[in-house]
Each structure stands twice: as C-alpha cells, then as structure tokens.
Amino acid sequence: MEQSKHTHKIKENKYLYVASISMLLYSLLEISDSVAIVLIAFKIIPNLYLEWGVPIIKQLMETQPLSLAPLFWAFTIMRTVSAIGLMKNLLWGFWIGIGSLLLTMILTILFLPIGAFELLGCAIIFILLVMGYCQDKPIIDDAFNENKIKTS
C-alpha cells in the first residue's frame, strides 16, 4: 500500500516519469545486446555491430565476443535496476541511473562517430533526471539570503 503511494507520485513529475520510461526502454535495448553477444559468440547470428570505434574492441568482437559480455551485462543490470527503482520512485534508482548514464557518456567517446547517437540518448535521459529531481528549486533560496544577513 505504502509503495503504491510512492509509485503514483512518479507520474506526477513528468520529467522523472519520461526519464523512467526512457530508462526502461534503454534497459530493454541493453538486454537485447546482452543476448546478441552470446549468440554472436556461438556463431548463431552474424556480428551485426558496426565497424566503428577502437580497433581492440572491433578485434575482440570478431575473435572473442564473450570477453566483452561482462561489460554488456554490467550495463544491462545497471539500467534495468535503475529503471525499476525509478518506476518505484526510489532514490537509489535515480543515483544508479545517473551513474550508469555518466559512465556511458564517457565510454561512448571511444565509439565515435556512431557513439554520438548513444551519447545523445544518454544526455537526454540525464537532463530529464536532473530536471525532475531539481524541479523548480532555485540555486540560491531565501533561507540562504536570510542567513547571510543574520551573520553580517
């Protein structure tokens, strides 16, 4: 009962609600990536990943795709857990999401130019999360100014 009250509140904050839906969709994409890397490793499907990025990663995708599987799985877990936490309006979901998005935005630099699309998607979700968390709170509020006057 108590949890449903929290979950309902996420829908009231449009920024966080859109960010949580986006993170859920992003986690589904990561799940498909995690399954694909295993299927590629066992030569069930061809390697359809584009030939962009760092040469060592391209080489690993061609010769040892399972060596990259833990990286794929880690991002899958982070995004899925974050999406669940965000949907339930839990603060840990927000922070796991922020962390995974920042890490992804840093790592996508290795995959330019195609990484720019993932960078853009992560940046949009990141901005939505921050806007939803901060809402209309001012940077400096009246309490700060009152304390400054009292200490002068």
Domain residue limits, the chain = 2-151
Check the CA dihedral 24-96-56-35 and report its sign.
negative
Whether the per-residue pLDDT at 150 is higher than 80: the answer is: no
- What would the pLDDT profile of 24-74 be if each residue is shown by its tens digit? 999 999 999 899 999 999 999 988 776 666 778 778 888 888 988 898 899
Mean predicted confidence (pLDDT) in 82-100: 96
pTM equals 0.81
Distances (CA, A) of 59 to 35, 41, 56, 73: 19, 13, 5, 19
pLDDT, position 148: 63
pLDDT, position 90: 95
Give the confidence band of 145 by pLDDT, cuts at 50, 70, 90.
low
Q: How far apart are the first and last CA of the chain?
A: 49
Mean residue pLDDT across the chain: 87
CB-CB neighbours of 144 under 10 Å: 11
Give the confidence band of 1 by pLDDT, cuts at 50, 70, 90.
very low
